[in-house]
Each structure stands twice: as C-alpha cells, then as structure tokens.
Structure 1
C-alpha cells in the first residue's frame, strides 16, 4: 500500500509539474458549409501534389486593446482624439502571445514542416504545403470548384478543422472555406447606356451661381458633385503629405489616356496631371484594356481632390487553375492579399476607397472577423476606409440562407457590414436628393451594433415597428453610414464618355470629400481624420439628410429613407463647408 500511494503521488506531481503535451491529431471543426456555396460547382479532387501557400492567422495578442484605443482616438469628445498609433505600436498590440507561436510551430513540426517552408510575419505565418499535407493538417478534403459566371476555378474545401489546442490560438486558416475570389467578387458599378451623354462642361454656366441644375439629376459630372457637396473653390495645399488610394481588383486597369480626356472635358485645370499605379500580388496595368470600374474610381477621386496625389492599387490573384501545375498557385484571398501588402508599406494613404464586396453569408465568420479587425488596424494608424454598400438593396436573388435552412432573410454585404469601415450608399436626383433604389443597406448578421451609432439607429428601429420583422438582425451593425450620388456618372472609357451607376460611384465621391477635409486639417497642423464613424455619428449636422426613397430587394420593399439615419442613405450626403467648419 505504501509503494502504491508513493507512486500515485509521484504521478500526480509529474502531471502538475509538466502539463501533458498537446495532441495535434485531436481535431475539432473550425468552419464548414452545409452545401457548396451558390454559384460554384464541384469539378474534381485537387491534385494531391499541388503546392500552395497556406496562411495561418494567429490570435492577435491585444486586439481588444487596439479596438479600445481606436474608439478613444476616433471620438471627438475624448482627450486622445486624433492621436493615431504608429505601425510599430500597432504591431506590438497585435503580436500573438509567445505560447501561441510556440504551439503553432510545434503543430507544424509534428507535420514535418520545417522553417525552410514557413514565412512568419507578426500575426501570420505562410506555410508552403502540398494539398495532401494541408488535408492531413486540417482534416479537410480539397477539391477544384468552378464559378460559371466568371469562369474561375479554385481549390477550396467545404470544411476544415484544427487541433483542439489551437482553437484558442488561431483565428483563421486560408484558403479553406472562403470561396470568393477576385473574379467572383462583385464590383458595385454598372453601365447605364440608356442615359444620354453629357459632352464637355456645358453645366458650368448653370452651376456658377451655386445652384444645382436639374441636369445633374440624370447626368453627374465633377461640377455637379462640387456644387452638391460644397467643395467648389477649395484648393488643396497639403499635397506633400496627404494622399488618397483606390483599391482595384478584377483585372480592372485605370487608364492614363482616358483620364487626360476626362480632365479635358470636365476639369481643364488638371490637364497634364496623373495618378500612380501600384501593382499588388501580380496585379496588372494593361493600358490597352481600360476598365469601367477602375476609370470611374480614379477619374472621380482625382477630379475631386486635384492636385492631391492619387494611388491606384491594381490587385491581382486570379490566374486560371491548372491541374497539371507543380508550381505554387495564387490562392485568391483578395482582401488579405491587399491588406497584408499595405501593412508592409512605409506610408499609407490617409483615405482608401474600395468598391467591391460579397454577400456576408458567403464569407466564413472567422475570416470576416479577422479581415474586419485588419480594417480597425488601418483606422488606428490614421486611415479612413470607405466601402460601397452594394447595388442590390437589402439583397439580390432569392435571399435564402446558406446554412441549410434556406430561410429567406435580407442579405447584408461584407466588408460593408464591418463596423470599422465607413460604408457609402447611393442617392439620385437633385433639389432634393433622394435614395437610389439599388442602394445597399441593412444590418449585419456577424457584427453587433457598435456603440457609436446606437443613438442614431435605435430611433429608426423604434419607428420601424414590425415592418420587415424577422428578415434582419435588429442587433446588428447597421449600414450604410453615408451616401452620395450613385447614377449617371460621366466616365471616359476607351476615349468615349459613358454613363455609369452604382454605389461604386458613391464611395469615391465621399472619399474625395473627406480627402479634402484631411487636407484642411493637415494644413492647420492637425492629424488626419482616421476612422471617422464616431465623429460623423456625433456630428450629423454636417450632412444633408435624405428623407425619401427606398431599397427594395428579397421580394420586399426593403427599408425607407426617413429623417435622421436610415439603412438606405445612412446619415446623408456630405456638406464640405459644414464639416470643415466643425473640424
């Protein structure tokens, strides 16, 4: 009995002194889809010996502190307002705990993956693996899937798992269950060929007296926007510091020659100026293939902000999948690719405009949260991130949930639904402006309503009563935040003026106005605005309230624009002079 007791105590002592080693074969599901995501079809198993880069996003050590800091530095009533963090300070906050790093290294070592096959970058590690290795590591089955609308082929899995000991240490692994690719993303713009075209700047004489002519109700030019949003006459002076960036995808190339023609027609004082193209992740710059979306974005951001430097980020990552290829393939994670690139730059524009998105439900929750937190990181460093709200009202198609229930619900858009970006809806007409019927808007199913917008959103929900009950998440982050004109933009494409609509037009218009506000602040010795949502929700008087129109979708009338905030036009359209006065 004595020896048995002694042995027992020894075993207990050893267990307390040295925890049991993790079991890297004890897997638990991280994410899965009930069905193949809509728009995709199975083609074949992925070749076992195909090599690709697997990204592992480690839990960020102090992400809650970073978000708390962001809320303080973005609140105009807080003593720390405008005190943005440096890249080094942000890196310190998001650095994973050393135990998480050790655990992931041990897991990789267990699977025979040494340092020569890994590339660490603070909270991410990129691992060069074969499909067979990834399947063993993640308890997954990778297949080739085809997206008929874009002819895109990708390698993805319908589910993946991680060892139980890693669930608290790893946020996301990609590519796994996120099926969207560069080509399958939605660009929120479209041609409007039935609108008659505006030649030259014939509106200038009508606008010279400060009135907005009726013609701006169907055909938008720079003069219309300058007058509508009170930017006319402001000349930027902080051009050595202030910049604006446009994130482009889909092999959309902004064209230099078309911009020159655009300036000749609509802003003669800018003739001879240009923008800078930065190619990201193999993105192209084919000047023989001008893109409608790219030209729309860059012509209106440069036109509004001239002579402020404009940067167009041409983000690649959409080569066709070749089953016989033994070389690493691009894994098509558009937001991650662009964000990881931008965080490695020595300087980042003070404003970024993006006009692409996906249905929120098609983005795995863990992926969406991680990307959204990366936008918070940008805001913490003083960058304002704008996204268009989408062009399908409260949702396009049959609006069925993809969780197996097929329940019909409104379909929020991501990243528009992220609480750390500023989302822009659309308007149309003038004297007064009204909501355009395709303006995306609603409530997130992933992200809770942030405190900064509660005072604006709660009254709207109270007045809504039972309308649309059960079709949306009343506790979700509400969007859009702002709005601007979204139809009839006159854009030069391949030397010809065409008419373009969509919230893709609205987002760069608002981004241009806030770039001018940054210029004013910098010229007066103040920092850039950074994350603006707490500011704009506390200073709603700086916007033109839109009180009519709606955004139907999902077989419903959608939401209606009313006095105050609404999920069609947000707080309204910007008034530069009022905002400048407040700042």
Structure 2
C-alpha cells in the first residue's frame, strides 16, 4: 500500500534519578460542556492586555501547499470547531519518565505510568488556563475541555470570530486528487501574551486530511506459483502468514496471556476492514485460527461498511490477526470529513486526522498495547507546531505502555521533484511524518528471502524538525561515518533518523471482496512487526511483567536480535538515495525481527 507521506526539540537526555513524585495541579476550569456565550460586550481584562498585539505562529506565505487550490471564501457565519493545544506544565517530566521506563538498563524499566499520572504531567499550568480563559472571555467565549487533562480545548465559533482572534483569513481549499475540500488558512497569529501558553491551534495551516494523505493501493501483479509449496519456497514473490512466521521465527510459539494482551489498527476515512474477507483469509492461510474476528471502534463518525472492503484495512487486519491471533485485535475506523456543504449552519471539514484519533485514544481508560498505522505526509507539509504537538501525544501513549508503529512510506528518500517549500525551492530529501517523530517506531520494507534485501521504495531518512534522540546516537553516528560525503547537503545529519526496523513489504496475499490480490508497500511491513511485538508482549505478560511500551531504547540496545539487511537501496529525488549496510541504515533500520532472539532480551 503506498502512503503519501517539529520545529521540535530532541527528547531530553535520560536522567537516572530513581525517586519519582507527582504533584497534583489545581483543577482545570474548563466547562465540561460546550458553551457559546452570547455576550455582546467584551469583558474587560484586569491587566488591560492588548489582545490585538499579534505575533505570527505559522505561515506558508503566499504559497498554497502543493496539491491544494483555493476554492472560495467561506461565509463569515460558517461555524467551525477551533481546537487549542495548550502548553503542558510538566511535559519534560513526561519525557523524563518515558526515558527511564523504556530503557532496559534502568531500574524503572517497564514501570509504565497510569492514565491519571500522564494526565497530571500534560495538564496546563493554572496560569496558562487563566490566560486562555481571559482571552476567550474577551471575545465572548468559554472553552470546552477536549481532553481529560485539559491540555486541549475546543470552541465552536463563526469563521469571522476565528479570523479576528487569530489575525487570519480562512478559505475553502480543494484537493483535486482526493476530491476533499477543507477550511484552512495560510497563516495565523496569536496575541503576544499567549505565546508560551498555546502550542498550536487547529484547524489553521495544516492541510492534511485522511483523504489527501491516502494514495492509491499498491497492487502487485499475481505470479503463478504452486500454492502447495512449503514456505519459504514461494515467499520470494508471494507472502503469506506462514512465510512471515518462518522468516521471523514465530512458528512454534504458543501464547499464554492473550486475555491481557491487545493490538490496535488505526484506520481512516472510507477504509473498512471486512469480516467476511477475514474469514476467507484465515480459512485459506491460517486455518487453525478460522473464526477469529476483531472489534471495530468508530471514532469521530467513522464508518463500518461491510459492503465496501478497503485494501489497506484488509491488509492490516488480516496480517495482524494472522500473526498474533488469538490476541484481541481492534480496528479503529476514524471519520471526520463531513460532505462539503457551503452552509453557514453546517461545520465544514475542520477535522484533522491525527488529533481526532489521538484525542480519542488518550481519553480511553484502557488502550491496546500495540498500535500500527499506515499513513503519513511529507514532513515539510506539516507545520512544525502541529508536528511537535502530535508527536508529544504519541509520547503519552508510550508512557502508558503502548508500542506505536508507523510505516516509513513508499517513496524512498522522497517522491516527486523533492523541492523545498521554504521559498528556496532547493532539491532535498523529503522525510515523512509521523515516521520522523522520535516517539514512534518506524518500519521500512524488505523483499525476497535467503537473504532478505531492502525494497527500493522503503522510506527512510533524517528529520528536519526533530533532533537525533540519544537512543540511536551510536548507531546513526556509525552509519554517517561510513557514509562519508555521499548525499552531502541533501539531508539533515543531526536529525532523528528512520526507519528503526523493517519487514517484508511486497507480494502480500490479501483477500479483497472474496478474491486474492497481491499487495505491497511499507503498509504491509508495519502490521507485520506489530503482530510480532504482540507476541513479545505475551512473553512478558505470561511471566507477570508489563508490556514493552515505547520500543526504541530497547531495540537499539539489542541490534543483534534483528536480521541485518546489508543490500538494497531507496532511491528518490533524482539520486540513488541511501544504501543498506552492516548495522543500522536509513533504508531498513536495524533490520527485520528475529522472534527467537528477541524473546530472550525482552
């Protein structure tokens, strides 16, 4: 499956101080219900703040993001849901805890935080709450908490008020390739007094939607082979669960803690996992698990049309279940793009994919121990403030004991002309987001067997937003030293490097509408690794330990537990890209998983 794939800071260095304490903050003042005040006279502010003293937060300048075109101006009375991401008072403490609980050499390893502890750390300071309340009251509004911690706040208001509050000009923009139309602005600002209190506002300058990120299915031609051949004889061109179990050494493992285990697949608009197709798949390829099913959870109006099977949705759920059953699997169908109606009483498409799903997941009292997701954007198309806020939400999931995996993308070091959108129009490798977030585990692709080699579309590179985290410093420095001056000037040598791991990415046999299709892409690689991580969680859970949680510190300290991929490359941007080599590389990461070795180190 092809996927289209802040100015942030690198995660803090791990502090090994063992003593941990939590200091509860004062209760948040946000109303539990959405309130629209009909105050006609603005409240006076005690310090006579100048709410019209604006500082630009983010701007694309006069250039509309690539792939989008201006459609029309909205009615001034069009209602939108404005979402404010408030600065967390103790986010550095969250990073500190995550660093310790994910480090296998630390005494707190595996001692994940509870939902309530995470919420204490990400809650805004009372001064931030007061400041934002004051600003909203000045304009006649009161916010509604959009997250349990109060770090996200929602206000429903007319476009004309949002424009006044953000010194912005909204427009309706159309994406011809996906036929999606959204309400966005090319720039927005905040009052100077709010700087340091509000991290991001949406919808503003992030143009991504589920539709615009999704590319056409990466369907591969069928190859006429003996269907009765024993794996891995046919696995060079046709991947089945048996191929993957043989390649990655899971075939003889018997699970013991499935009642405490779980795996989640993040789906998106109009991609529905089909139950009948799953049964056909299991009957044909995993007969011992025939009858196994999954739960669908609808997020933000997501659908579940069983008459419209999705290629990617079926790929994901068939292979996570094919590898991890009987681990309970959940498919999250996230909606959020209502039909475009230029009606002043109808909210237009103000939804944004990561926030809709993440705000829902972080609010749940119980969440899956592994997540896999197969979509993304070019990093440069995501505003830095937005990318940083979303990345921090992934850190919350890791802190609670969940492993978050993302496909690395299907365009090597970059697709298209690879021109920068900073006004300089330079050719530069194009990293992907969220693949570049340091709090997720990113999975690249391989092909063939005996040996596996890097597949040429495997996304990989170096972030321009996020600095290199400590956990990969040694591995990446070793690669860069060996690379020398190759590709100089085309990538950020100090950025977070990805992918972290890899797995097969071509020839996956998927049942779609009752028929078998061959599907490829790193969208196949990520669910494959997710299924294996679920088995590793079973190893830990069955011995009374916790789930693995954030994986990266563990895997970079145990590179020998992976099958090192040393050939192949990921060309793009008019270059040969990077080449796989001994050790970590930005094509296949540390390599593909060897369950037999990994179960000894987890």
TM-score of the alignment, normalized to the shorter chain, above 0.5: yes
- The partner residue of 1:93 within 95, 118, 121 is 121
Q: Secondary structure at the match of 2:157?
A: strand
Change (3 A) 1:119 1:82: closer
- 5 Å-filtered alignment, 1:124-273, equals 124-186=152-214, 190-192=218-220, 194-196=221-223, 202-203=228-229, 206-207=230-231, 212-213=232-233, 215-273=234-292
Deviation of 1:113 (Å): 1.1
Q: Secondary structure at the match of 1:161?
A: strand
Change (3 A) 1:120 1:253: closer
Q: Give CA deviations for 1:320-350 in whole Å, capped at 9, x if unaligned.
A: 3211251334422100000000112121000
Q: Give CA deviations for 1:94-144 in whole Å, capped at 9, x if unaligned.
A: 1100000000000001111136x7767410110011100100000000001
Q: Give CA deviations for 1:19-54 in whole Å, capped at 9, x if unaligned.
A: 944321111100000310000000111211100100
| Aligned match of 2:521 | 502
| Aligned match of 1:308 | 327
| Aligned match of 2:38 | none
Q: Which runs of 5+ in 1 are unaligned?
A: 1-17
Change (3 A) 1:552 1:321: same
- Distance in 1 between residues matched to 2:162 and 2:362, nearest whole Å: 27
Deviation of 1:237 (Å): 2.0
CA contact (8 A) 1:66 1:380 kept: yes
| Aligned match of 1:363 | 382
- Distance in 2 between residues matched to 1:389 and 1:114, nearest whole Å: 40
CA contact (8 A) 2:183 2:348 kept: no
More helix as a share of residues: 1
Q: Does 1:569 align with 2:588?
A: yes
Change (3 A) 1:461 1:119: closer
| Aligned match of 1:31 | 58
Q: TM-score, normalised by structure 1?
A: 0.94
Q: Give CA deviations for 1:228-256 in whole Å, capped at 9, x if unaligned.
A: 00000212221111000000013100000
More deviation in 268-277 or 319-328?
A: 319-328
- Distance in 2 between residues matched to 1:71 and 1:469, nearest whole Å: 32
- 5 Å-filtered alignment, 1:255-294, equals 255-294=274-313
Q: Secondary structure at the match of 2:258?
A: coil
Q: Does 1:419 align with 2:438?
A: yes
Q: Secondary structure at the match of 2:397?
A: helix
Q: Does 1:438 align with 2:472?
A: no
Change (3 A) 1:508 1:188: farther
| Aligned match of 1:554 | 573
| Aligned match of 1:580 | 599
Deviation of 1:271 (Å): 0.9
Q: Secondary structure at the match of 2:577?
A: coil
- Distance in 1 between residues matched to 2:584 and 2:130, nearest whole Å: 47
- Distance in 2 between residues matched to 1:28 and 1:538, nearest whole Å: 43
| Aligned match of 1:43 | 71
CA contact (8 A) 2:183 2:349 kept: no
| Aligned match of 2:131 | 103
Deviation of 1:197 (Å): 5.9
- Distance in 2 between residues matched to 1:232 and 1:120, nearest whole Å: 41
| Aligned match of 1:11 | none
Deviation of 1:186 (Å): 3.2
Number of residue-to-residue matches in the alignment: 556
CA contact (8 A) 1:552 1:558 kept: yes
Q: Give CA deviations for 1:68-103 in whole Å, capped at 9, x if unaligned.
A: 110111000011100000000000011100000000
Q: Does 1:455 align with 2:474?
A: yes
CA contact (8 A) 1:259 1:492 kept: yes
Change (3 A) 1:44 1:239: same
Q: TM-score, normalised by structure 2?
A: 0.91
| Aligned match of 1:525 | 544
CA contact (8 A) 1:186 1:358 kept: no
CA contact (8 A) 1:118 1:127 kept: no
Change (3 A) 1:281 1:146: same
- Distance in 1 between residues matched to 2:106 and 2:548, nearest whole Å: 14
Q: Secondary structure at the match of 2:600?
A: helix
- Distance in 2 between residues matched to 1:505 and 1:440, nearest whole Å: 13
- Distance in 1 between residues matched to 2:296 and 2:534, nearest whole Å: 18
Q: Secondary structure at the match of 2:533?
A: helix
